[in-house]
Structure 1
């Protein structure tokens, strides 16, 4: 759970104080203000103490420049014929933005009246701007900002660089005989291909399809062929692609599709080679159709199933929570659910639809940042309705630009995705002619209680309630307003909303904009409370999005088969790969620092298991802080939870010594021979949560642990020389003398790190990775001085993965081995493992 300080942090540049008159004059003279300038200018014009509102819609109405008397169908500026409104100001009819790659010269198409309201020119803004309509120029400057972003994108795309990578991939495939390296090169060629000329991307997709076919990835190869045809693959080479499509369909046992492509080939003039190959495929297809037989498939009727729901929603103090409906044993399944909305975190390539990692990416060719990728064309098709609204935002890198002011721009994108996926569904249930006020009342009334509308469960989520209007709250409201302007002028989303209503019902663009801004503000408040879920997954360090011409390409011998001696490269980290919302399960759990569930993520799917035996009717609790009572101290947890509007009174926080469980993992014995007392350091300046071995301030050689940890009994700084000796000896542990030093360092660490110290797990990980890197060919000679009883156990734990080195279960074996080593460490047997 990200704190509100990180999810809604406003830069000082945006909130710096300045005289209103001077600020307005200087702001209006700026040609293209930044987002921080936009928000900072509005904050200086507002008086926080005068803002009084009852709900999000009223709050947005206070901040928006829309005149209430013009909230009708006739006031829509998109359909005004002449160039003047009631005030005599010129009104420019605007159309939704098109893709910048094909739009031609459209520098000024974003400047003018929006929604049919008079918009003053920024150069004519008086210096004595009042706060009655503080956002009068805001819309104009937002549109200018959009236009400026539009001309700044596409900087990293290069047709020449894409061609160079494509040629390098061809050389790697034909000369080096390394298909997987060629596949990575073709993938990067796709990412660097410009959208203005899609031929470069078409050729890269076609080349990659051949490599993937040779690697046995037939479904991905077929998708590449389709992408190549969609992007304008040269017609003279069409038989090549059609022949490969037929071969992929045959390998996938889709005989109907194979015959369809073969029929297409028979109607094309082919040379002798292609004609021979076509008849060969036709013959193979006929043979396989004859040999086809039905296989018995387990239907699940003979499996023991229990359809009884393990939880129910209970209501307490006008808020909902989860309770168990029956007794649940430890490690049993409590619930499984899929996220209603999810956005990738940007730490690695994640499919924007299903959320999986490590796949052959299919990017949207029109997004300039190429952050939107899919694992298949099927996922891209499923996600098309959402991406159609967000695509232009990715073209101008809108969501990344929010990072200038807000510490977590993905939160804003997730709020937008909640809106565009849920609001059309809810409007389909509106039968009467709505107005803005009636529709808002209905959303907060009858429609809110509907159990058959998925969006209603999102609207019922708890929100972060703030007692007064703060600069952070107003900044987020302005961000919601910017997103609503984006939906109005850069997408056709409002047209989709109109189609969801009865034909006799219409609302103006201004009314839709107010409604969407209010709902966005609500979703932002919900995500700042506790509805935002960090989806953690195992990410390999050789993630293909980190393009490098080093030895990373040598990792695989074949698909799912590692090169010998490279198993250690799979020792990745567990990182946050996506942010998601689970409104009917995880978000309804009550908070407790001692959670009763363990959450596991697989793409969009969440699985919650019981951490202990739960009797029937007991509450289901989840820790919404970034760490539980064993991972964070009580003061840090309380501060983080208060930022989310959560006050915790759980049993872990009510203990007299609330941090004992945390300190149990950070206990040291003083290395001063005259002291030897056991202590726990209470704070380290550059090491959050006392994990000094993760901080560069302490692990760099020049620091050497000086004044790192001080014993409170004798005031002596701990030398920690065993840590530096361990790191030095670990690099060359294939040498006997270095292994002896490593053994001695671990022995000294055992005497200072008490019980279940967290540093032991860190050392175990380093040791495991280095052992797997050194022991490439079952180097039994390295165990020459290990006793026979220890040698058997070590030989099993070290050599077992290499017996299955060319199997597809390397990652599972690695995790098992890591767990074994960590258990040995935690039980005080580190010496036995390292004495190889």
Structure 2
């Protein structure tokens, strides 16, 4: 198989050096106006690469793997307990896990796909996930479930519709079932559901749904009253300024992106970006890379995905990074941009019209996101020649992919026109250049495992975790790359005045501190001043964003004082306090290469024996004696790692997580264990708040340890701490927030209320 780097290297040799950048269209033209022989070879390389990426799976092997997983699920489901609720629940979850594997492994083998969906729907219904079970039945019917057995699925859908309170769907399904020849058992179920339909209809009449009033409806205009956009050509450009005093936590604006791309295939819903997927619905053509949380989301994304499906099959997009999001911008906004493309008699005129539109200033929220995206800044004119040609080659490859592998050009009516190819490639290149300095990534808390893995002991009910399982939501992952043109108007500062709350496609911008009227509102484009040195930040800002930062944290006399405070060692030989001198030494424990760290005074290489001792004990936290050693080793870190050292915080997190995992697996803990863990947790939370902020996803992920210890009744939370937990939970995405709120209500609220009553009685 040809590799992208090999093809680009050969194509680069065919392209003349671009001495001066004009615009994206002229850059792309260079790739399309080569001498005949070179042009032919250039084009051949692109087509050969796309052809070589075809990954056709062995459908027979897919069917066999899917059938095996489904049979495992059947065996677990059949043996589920009828009397022990806990065992029954674990069996259902394990069966769902196997059925999900069967669905993902089936690829487009429809006879296996429909059976996997049908069986998973059965287990999901028994567990109480009625919405997901309904969708699974619909998928089973879509992929050809045997007609003579379809009444089973329709009956199951009717039951789910009843549980969901969906009168319309319940009526439709019962009407269909009434026309079928059913045995006595199904007739009995039908009669019971007909009674439930009558009750739902009566309830619907007596309790009409409330209409959303204008006061209750979200208003973007109201949210935009506390700031405005100023334009300072040649100085700051467009930037955001407060028009009144904004308090910490106040919403400054909300923005919902039209397009994003997942950073990891198969991790989140491709339509709504939900990260908790009990029952993922994959595209059967995409080799498990594209999943949805529901059929509704799959249908909403159907047109866009029709242009990307072949690319996912070829594993093309993972090679191209930001250019994939640039492609998706073109796919989303093309219809809007077409109105301008059609006005030009040739490619030059069409491009000129588009760029004229891009040079205008637009008011938000009145302007569309497509127009705002056209206006975003690009630094391709400042890019090095090799960087420019790389993104131009990416744009050309994607343009050829659209023409060769999809029906995208049919909507443009320019399938045979070279002008159309030039325009699409130029637009992809323009979007890539804009995203390099304006794109955003969102992070969120995720389960340690993929969120659609139904771990058998994790859940006690839908969206309700079992006691002691909250710590398994202690991971923070970058999940999406998003186009947010309004947020992009905020200039950079290494001490940002805003923080972002990401909820799927929606991003809320909140004040991180007091912002006074007429004060500029700043975002941070890199790691902030607490998590990077000034030199690190300046290097990244110059390389990516082409400017040198002059914010107050960079211009001060001690720009690295706070960052270095998280990286101070005491020499093991001379007791001198020092900070490593090289960038790669700051996080040496996260690197595969072991960087030698030398004392700045005596030059002795640090041995770090204490690190090895603690790491070894972490593997045996199920044994009480080993836990005692770990607690002791952690306390001794005070000798070598000063204050809230990044490594000590890392080891604190590792130790607490290992202990809670051991307890969840059945290890016995006594009061001494809980006392030690509570002490370490207090240190961890204080340090993470200092380094990342008490409103960061990192801090909230560590609150999962507090929530588990509090749920056990072994961590004495003050009223202020409980309030902080409830506040932090509000920063989570909707699907994850639901899980956290339920856990708090199920275990912590009850214990805190009981403790309050006990204190009152005392």
Scaled by the length of structure 1, the TM-score of the pair is: 0.75
Deviation string 1:452-490 (CA, Å, 9 cap, x unpaired) is: 343221111111234576233213212211211122232
2:12 to 43, 53, 65: 43
- Counterpart position of 1:555: 458
How much has 1:64 moved relative to structure 2?
Answer: 0.7
2:496 to 589, 592, 595: 595
- Counterpart position of 2:447: 540
How much has 1:539 moved relative to structure 2?
Answer: 1.6
How much has 1:144 moved relative to structure 2?
Answer: 3.5
CA contact (8 A) 2:597 2:605 kept: yes
- Counterpart position of 1:253: 165
Distance 1:396 1:431 in 2: 32
- Counterpart position of 1:336: 254
Distance 1:414 1:541 in 2: 26
1:181 to 69, 94, 99: 94
Deviation string 1:169-197 (CA, Å, 9 cap, x unpaired) is: 111111144111111111111111131x3
Distance 1:241 1:458 in 2: 45
SS of match in other structure, 1:337: strand
- Counterpart position of 1:618: 519
- Counterpart position of 2:758: none
- Counterpart position of 1:171: 75
Larger mean CA deviation between 745-754 and 371-380 belongs to: 745-754
How much has 1:33 moved relative to structure 2?
Answer: 4.8
Distance 2:531 2:743 in 1: 26
Q: Which structure 2 residues correspond to residues 55-204 of structure 1 after superposition, within 5 A?
A: 55-65=23-33, 131=35, 134-150=38-54, 152=56, 158-176=62-80, 177=88, 178-195=91-108, 197-204=109-116
1:230 to 142, 164, 173: 142
- Counterpart position of 1:702: none
CA contact (8 A) 1:369 1:397 kept: no
Q: Report whether the alignment pairs 1:208 with 2:120.
A: yes
Larger proportion of helix: 2
Distance 2:127 2:253 in 1: 38
Deviation string 1:323-361 (CA, Å, 9 cap, x unpaired) is: 122111223222221123200011761111111102134
- Counterpart position of 1:639: 539
- Counterpart position of 2:476: 574
2:369 to 446, 454, 475: 454
- Counterpart position of 1:830: none
Q: Report whether the alignment pairs 1:351 with 2:269.
A: yes
Distance 1:782 1:802 in 2: 11
- Counterpart position of 2:581: 682
Deviation string 1:594-645 (CA, Å, 9 cap, x unpaired) is: 22212232212212222221111211112212x1122111222121111112
Distance 1:466 1:234 in 2: 60
Distance 2:94 2:255 in 1: 37
CA contact (8 A) 2:278 2:451 kept: no
Q: Which structure 2 residues correspond to residues 401-420 of structure 1 after superposition, within 5 A?
A: 403=319, 409-420=320-331
1:809 to 733, 740, 754: 740
How much has 1:139 moved relative to structure 2?
Answer: 2.7
How much has 1:47 moved relative to structure 2?
Answer: 2.8
Deviation string 1:650-675 (CA, Å, 9 cap, x unpaired) is: 22222233222211111122333xx3
Q: Report whether the alignment pairs 1:763 with 2:651.
A: yes
CA contact (8 A) 1:215 1:559 kept: yes
Structure 1 pair 678–383 and aligned structure 2 pair: CA distance change class (3 A): same
Distance 1:467 1:132 in 2: 30
Structure 1 pair 419–281 and aligned structure 2 pair: CA distance change class (3 A): same
2:334 to 406, 412, 423: 423
Deviation string 1:69-94 (CA, Å, 9 cap, x unpaired) is: xxxxxxxxxxxxxxxxxxxxxxxxxx
> Which ranges of structure 2 fall in alignment gaps of 5 or more residues?
81-87, 684-704, 716-737, 749-762
Deviation string 1:88-109 (CA, Å, 9 cap, x unpaired) is: xxxxxxxxxxxxxxxxxxxxxx
How much has 1:268 moved relative to structure 2?
Answer: 2.4
Distance 2:314 2:679 in 1: 61
Structure 1 pair 158–617 and aligned structure 2 pair: CA distance change class (3 A): same
Distance 2:42 2:668 in 1: 69
Distance 2:650 2:218 in 1: 41
Distance 2:669 2:60 in 1: 50
Larger mean CA deviation between 294-303 and 168-177 belongs to: 294-303
Distance 2:255 2:64 in 1: 45
Q: Which structure 2 residues correspond to residues 341-420 of structure 1 after superposition, within 5 A?
A: 341-346=259-264, 349-400=267-318, 403=319, 409-420=320-331
SS of match in other structure, 2:396: helix
Q: Report whether the alignment pairs 1:286 with 2:198.
A: yes
Deviation string 1:515-566 (CA, Å, 9 cap, x unpaired) is: 00011111111122x212121111211225679xxxx433334333444554
1:720 to 581, 590, 608: 608
Distance 1:555 1:676 in 2: 47
Structure 1 pair 689–218 and aligned structure 2 pair: CA distance change class (3 A): farther
Structure 1 pair 36–778 and aligned structure 2 pair: CA distance change class (3 A): closer
Q: Report whether the alignment pairs 1:695 with 2:591.
A: yes
Q: Report whether the alignment pairs 1:664 with 2:565.
A: yes
Higher Cα radius of gyration? 1
CA contact (8 A) 2:107 2:287 kept: no
How much has 1:163 moved relative to structure 2?
Answer: 0.7
CA contact (8 A) 2:307 2:406 kept: yes
SS of match in other structure, 1:449: coil
How much has 1:567 moved relative to structure 2?
Answer: 4.3
Deviation string 1:684-738 (CA, Å, 9 cap, x unpaired) is: 7xxx36123333545xxxxxxxx84332222333343333333344455566654
How much has 1:215 moved relative to structure 2?
Answer: 1.4
- Counterpart position of 1:28: none
SS of match in other structure, 2:255: strand
- Counterpart position of 2:718: none
SS of match in other structure, 2:38: coil
Distance 1:143 1:780 in 2: 62
- Counterpart position of 2:435: 527
- Counterpart position of 1:753: 641
Distance 2:372 2:167 in 1: 44
Structure 1 pair 513–769 and aligned structure 2 pair: CA distance change class (3 A): same
Distance 1:53 1:739 in 2: 62
> Which ranges of structure 1 fall in alignment gaps of 5 or more residues?
1-31, 66-129, 404-408, 499-505, 699-706, 818-836
Structure 1 pair 694–601 and aligned structure 2 pair: CA distance change class (3 A): same
How much has 1:36 moved relative to structure 2?
Answer: 3.3
How much has 1:290 moved relative to structure 2?
Answer: 2.6
Distance 1:763 1:485 in 2: 49
Deviation string 1:277-322 (CA, Å, 9 cap, x unpaired) is: 2222112211332344317859675899955523222112253111
- Counterpart position of 2:406: 491
- Counterpart position of 1:74: none
- Counterpart position of 2:727: none
Structure 1 pair 270–770 and aligned structure 2 pair: CA distance change class (3 A): same
SS of match in other structure, 1:331: coil
Q: Report whether the alignment pairs 1:649 with 2:575.
A: no
SS of match in other structure, 2:711: helix
How much has 1:52 moved relative to structure 2?
Answer: 4.8
- Counterpart position of 1:741: 629
Report the aligned-residue RMSD.
Answer: 3.5
